[in-house]
């Protein structure tokens, strides 16, 4: 053997036997649930019967969060479902343009891709109609979840609306179980839409059952009350504003009741007043909001979620993450859409800097 060959041979052998290190996650965030084509009035301020045209965008809370997080720089994938129709093609193509992974999105024969129609009457009326009869995303199954590399993600985000019907309800619970077993952070958007439930109290039953598998939940004050609802008459929807109901209840008491179910934190979105992060075991962190002129409130909560999740996955503390969420939400309320109008990272950071900083 020539000089040096034995040394090289031993080095090669040691290299071949070396235990490979952990593989980096395939995705930073996988969101699961509904998707839609959103038709927003181009006639801002017009009463609904007077609308003459609509702009076409993409929407649905998990979709919005996937796009918002992608624009901030996270690697995101969406698990939803579409029908064998042109609306489904529209949704998939727009997602691809945004850089959101769509390869796990199944097409459901016999089902339809969802649609949303919205009027815009600032400052406080945003009538909305959901077209979700036989919605494809309600057909998401456990097998669809198994096709997604949840264990190779850093976080998954689930949605309350997906709990309204089977098989998507079981698929959502199964995804939470898979993520929890793999040590993947589970975020839950409470995402209450009263018209999607046969009884609004059933929403709380399902959410409360899911919470032990959740690390961080977030929602509005109304959604917190909905999760602990006892009387259907405590839900009041005015001017067809399904996404902004009035729900009577004791928010602080309901926060404590939901935290007792197991999540490490519950984030309450309070619009212009900012947001509060309530922590398991007591204590809360308040992050002030930003003063902006509101054009449309639709999509602001999802933009908040994208910013908040981005912050947490960057290792930021609760305050800074919530402040980032507030900034993303504030930017979106000055615009007329959801996913298509969420900010990119540089824009969000510049907005924060120009408005007092973190």
Tens-digit pLDDT profile for residues 33-77: 999 999 999 999 999 999 999 999 999 999 999 999 999 999 999
Give CA 167 to chain center in angstroms.
20
Q: Quick one: pLDDT at residue 15?
A: 38
Q: Quick one: pLDDT at residue 17?
A: 42
Q: Where are the beta strands (DSSP E) in the chain?
A: 27-32, 36-41, 54-59, 76-79, 114-118, 128-131, 153-159, 185-189, 216-220, 235-236, 246-247, 265-269, 275-279, 284-287
Phi/psi class of residue 200: alpha, beta or left (left: φ > 0; alpha: ψ in -120 to 50)?
A: alpha
Q: pLDDT, tens digit, for every residue of 116-134?
A: 999 998 877 889 899 999 9
d(CA 68, CA 101): 13
Q: For the ranges 12-21, 163-172, 189-198, 266-275, which has the lowest average pLDDT? A: 12-21
Whether the Cβ atoms of residue 71 and residue 343 lie closer than 8 Å to each other: yes
pTM to 2 decimals? Answer: 0.92
d(CA 88, CA 354): 39
Give CA 260 to chain center in angstroms.
23
Burial class (CB in 10 A: 0-12, 13-18, 19+), 4: exposed
Q: Which two tokens stand for residue 316?
A: 């930021």
Q: pLDDT, tens digit, for every residue of 299-332?
A: 999 999 999 999 999 999 999 999 999 999 999 9
Average pLDDT, the chain: 92
Neighbours of 47 (CB within 10 A): 12
Helix (H, G, I), strand (E, B) or coil at 215: coil
**CA geometry: angle at 303 spanning 225 and 178, to 5°?**
70
Q: Quick one: pLDDT at residue 32?
A: 98
Which percentage of the chain shows pLDDT scores above 90?
A: 85
d(CA 253, CA 225): 9
């Amino acid at each position: 053997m020539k000089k040096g060959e034995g040394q090289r041979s031993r080095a090669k052998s040691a290299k071949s036997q070396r235990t490979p290190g952990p593989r980096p996650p395939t995705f930073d965030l996988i969101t699961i649930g509904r998707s839609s084509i959103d038709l927003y009035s181009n006639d801002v301020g017009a009463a609904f019967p007077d609308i003459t045209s609509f702009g076409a965008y993409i929407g649905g809370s998990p979709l919005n969060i996937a796009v918002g997080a992608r624009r901030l720089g996270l690697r995101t994938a969406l698990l939803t479902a579409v029908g064998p129709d042109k609306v489904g093609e529209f949704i998939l193509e727009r997602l691809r343009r945004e850089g959101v992974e769509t390869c796990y999105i199944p097409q459901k024969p016999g089902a339809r891709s969802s649609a949303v129609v919205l009027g815009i009457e600032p400052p406080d009326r945003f009538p909305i109609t959901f077209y979700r009869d036989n919605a494809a995303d309600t057909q998401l199954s456990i097998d669809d979840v198994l096709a997604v590399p949840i264990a190779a993600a850093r976080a998954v985000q689930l949605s309350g609306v997906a709990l309204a019907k089977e098989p998507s309800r079981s698929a959502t619970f199964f995804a939470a179980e898979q993520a929890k077993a793999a040590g993947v952070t589970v975020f839950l958007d409470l995402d209450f839409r009263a018209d999607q439930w046969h009884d609004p109290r059933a929403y709380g039953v399902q959410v409360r059952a899911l919470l032990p598998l959740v690390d961080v939940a977030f929602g509005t004050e109304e959604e917190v009350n909905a999760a602990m609802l006892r009387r259907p008459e405590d839900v009041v929807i005015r001017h067809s504003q399904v996404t902004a109901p009035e729900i009577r209840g004791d928010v602080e008491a309901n926060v404590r009741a939901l935290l007792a179910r197991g999540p490490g934190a519950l984030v309450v979105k309070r619009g212009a007043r900012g947001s509060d992060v309530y922590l398991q075991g007591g204590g809360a962190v308040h992050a002030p909001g930003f003063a902006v002129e509101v054009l449309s409130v639709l999509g602001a909560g999802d933009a908040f979620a994208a910013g908040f999740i981005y912050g947490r996955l960057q290792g930021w503390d609760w305050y800074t993450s919530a402040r980032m969420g507030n900034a993303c939400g504030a930017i979106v309320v000055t615009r007329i859409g959801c996913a298509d109008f969420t900010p990119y990272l540089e824009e969000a950071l510049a907005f924060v800097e120009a408005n007092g900083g973190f």
